[in-house]
Structure 1
Amino acid sequence: MSANSIGRAVCAAAAVAGLVTGLLTGPQAAAAPGPEEGTVAGLLADLQELYRKTEQATETYNATAEKLKKQRTQAKKLTRDLKKARTALHDSRAAAGRLARQQYQGDSELSPYLKLLLARDPRRALDQGHVVRRMAAERVETVGRLVDREKRTAALAARARKALDAQLALAERQKGQRDEVQERLRDVESMLAELTADELDALRRLEADSTADAQRDLLDSGALGGPPGKPAATRAPSKAGAEALRYAVKQIGKPYVWGAEGPKSFDCSGLTSRAWERAGREIPRTSQEQWAQLRRVPLDRLRPGDLVVYFPDATHVAIYLGGGKVVQAPRPGARVKVSPIAANPLLGAVRPDPGSRPDPSYRPPKLPAGAEEGADTGWGSESAPGDA
C-alpha cells in the first residue's frame, strides 16, 4: 500500500470520531445519508477504535526512535573510549616488554647488600642504589598502569558489547512498532473501502460541525479565560515562545507524515519539539513525554508558544497561536495548519519555559494565505507527492 493511500486511510479514520458521536448521540444522526444507521455506526465505531490504537502505536514508535537515537550516541562514545583504551594498553604492554628485557639483561645473582659490601666506593654504590630504587619504583608504576589499563579496557569492552546489544534490541523493537502501525493502517483502509461516497461526504460535514460545536462550547464555558463566546486576550509570550511559534507558522502547508520531525514533513510532536528546539530549548520528542515532563499551565493562562495536549492518553499535541487557535500537524493526509483549539478532545496544556518573562515587544506572526483551510483531521485533503 502506498504512503498516500495510508495517509488517506488514517485521515478518514480520524474523521470517524465526529461521525460516531453524531450517529450515536447527536441530533444530526437522522439526517446522515447511507444505509441502516446501526450498521454504519458499528463500522465507524470500529474505525474510531482502530484509529486511536494506530495513534498510540505511532507515539510508541516515536518514543522508541528517541531511545534508539540516544543509545546509538552512547554506543559510539563507548566505541571511541574503547579505541583509546586499547591504544593506551598497547603502549603499556610495550613499556612492560622493555622493562622485562632490561631486567633480563641486567640480571645478577648478587644481592644489593653483597654488591654494597664488595664495592670499592661504598658511597658511590649507595648513590647508585638510590637510582636503582627509583628505577624499581618506575617499574612498579609501569606494571601498575598495565594492570589498570587491562581492567579498564576489559570493562569498556563489556559495556560496549552491552550498549550494542541494547541498540540492536531497540532497533528490532522499533521495526515491530513500525509494522504494527502499518498493519493498523491497512486495516483502516480495508474497512473504509466499504463506505459509500455519500457516507464519506457525511464524514466531512459531521467533522466540521463537530469541531465548530466543540469550539463554541469551549468558548461559552469560559475555560479560555474570556467572556462567554470569546477567548481571553492573547498574552505576550516569552522570547523563546515567540520564536517557537514563528517556526511553527513557517511550516504551515507542509505535510503530516507519521514519525517525521522535519524539515520537509512533520507529525504532531515532531513539529512542537522541533519548534522549541529552534527556539533554543530541548523538550521531549513525544506528546506523551511533553505532557508528562513539562510544566502544566491552566487553559485560561495560555500564551503563544505553549503546547496544547489532546486525548486522555496524550497522543496529540499542538502549539498555541492565540485567540483560541493552535498551529498543528493534524493527521496523515493533512498539512500543518491553523485550527480551533477544540479540534480534538482537550487534555490540558504545558509550558516549556515556565520561568521566563513575557516579551513586551511581541508581535503575532503573519499567517500565510489559506492557513486555516482544510479539515482538522486531514479528511479530504491531499497528500504531497513523495509522502512516506
Structure 2
Amino acid sequence: MVKDTFKAVFVLVLLFATLSFAEFYLNVGTVQIGNENYMVYEFGPEFTVGPVTLGLTLTTYATDLTTGSFYFGYPGSSTPSTNIIDGINITALGLDLGNVWFRYGRMRPVTYGMGFVFSGYSNPNARTLDAGIRMGTLSASVHVPYQLAQLSTFTFTQSDPVYTAVVSSKISLFELSAFGGVDMDGLREDAVATPLTYAAGISLTTNVLGFSIGAEAGAQMWKDGTIGYGVFGGIFGDFGVFQFVAGPFYASDGFKPWLISRNYSFEKSQPDFGPDKYKSDLGYIANLALTLSPYGKVAVLLKGNFEGNVTLSGEGIINIPAIGGTNGLVLYGYLYDETPFEGGQFFDDNTQARLTIAYPVFAGFYAGVKYIWEDSQWKQTAFVGGSANF
C-alpha cells in the first residue's frame, strides 16, 4: 500500500514538474502521407532544461472522422499501428554539450552559405535528426530525415527524401563553407520526369564595415547525368530591423538558383521537371527583409535577368496585438510567381499564393481561415491547430 502510494506521488510530482517547465503543444490539422489524406491530432508538453530539450505528444491519425480508419502514431509504414502505445510520439529530443550536439524534432528550414543552392528548404510535416560538432573554428553537421514511426516496435521511417551535410571553418578573415545533399527520390528507378539527384556548393564570405561580402558556387546533378553550374557574388547586411542580400549570378544549362527551397517539392512535382527546363541565365538576385519584433516580419525575394524575366517570392507574418480583451490576430501570407505582372495580371495560372487569418485561442493553438490561390481563384478553408497549418 505504501509502495503504491509512493509511486502515485512520484508520478504526480514528475507530471507537475514537467508541465511547470513545459510549453504545451496542441495541433489539429490535415496531412497527406503517400496518396492518403489524414486528420492529425497532437497534444503534449515540450520543454528545455539546461542542455536538454524534450517534447512528447499523444498523436492520432484518422482517414475520416466517422467511418474511416483510426491509427496511433505515424501511419506511413506498411503496417500502420492501432496500438495506443504508438500514439506516444517523441516530437523533440535534443542535447547540446557545446562541442557535440544533436536534435530530433520538427524539421527546421535548411539554408547553407549565401542561400544560392540551399535556401530555406523545409517540410513542415517531417521530423528529422540533425547532429553536429564544433571544434574551435571548425564546425560540421548532418541532416538526416528519419522519424520514429512506432514506439512499440521501435520502427523508423524516412520522413523526407533530402539528406544534407555542411562543413564550415574560419580561415583568417574569411568564413568558408562546403555543403551538399542528395534527393533519394531522384535515385528511384520509377522516378517521374528527370529528377535532381545531387546538389553541392561552396561559399566564402568576409565582414567589411558591418557588411558580409562573398561568393558562392554550386552544382546540380540530374538523373540523366546532366550537371549544371552556377555562381553568385554579392553583399549581405543585417541591421536589426532590416536585412538584405543582393548581387549578380550566372547559371549554366541545367542549374537553377534557389531550386532547393521551400518551393522545391512543388517544383519537382511538375511533369516538365528536369535539366532541360533550366536554361543558361545571367542576372541578379535581391532579397529584402523587414523585422519589427514583436509585430512581425516580411521578406521579398527577387530574381531577374537582363532579358526582362523576373521571379518574385514573398512571405510575411503580422501579429496584431490584443485589443479590448481579445487575443489579437495573426496574418500570414505567401507568394511565388515566375511570371509576375505578365499580361498585366498579378495573379495567374503560374501564381502560388495563400493568405491565413488566425485567431490565437491560447499559446500555440489557433483557429482561423485560409485562402489558397488555385485554378485562378481563391479557395477558402477553415482550420484549428498549430502554426504548421498556416
TM-score by length of 1: 0.21
| Greater C-alpha Rg | 1
TM-score by length of 2: 0.21
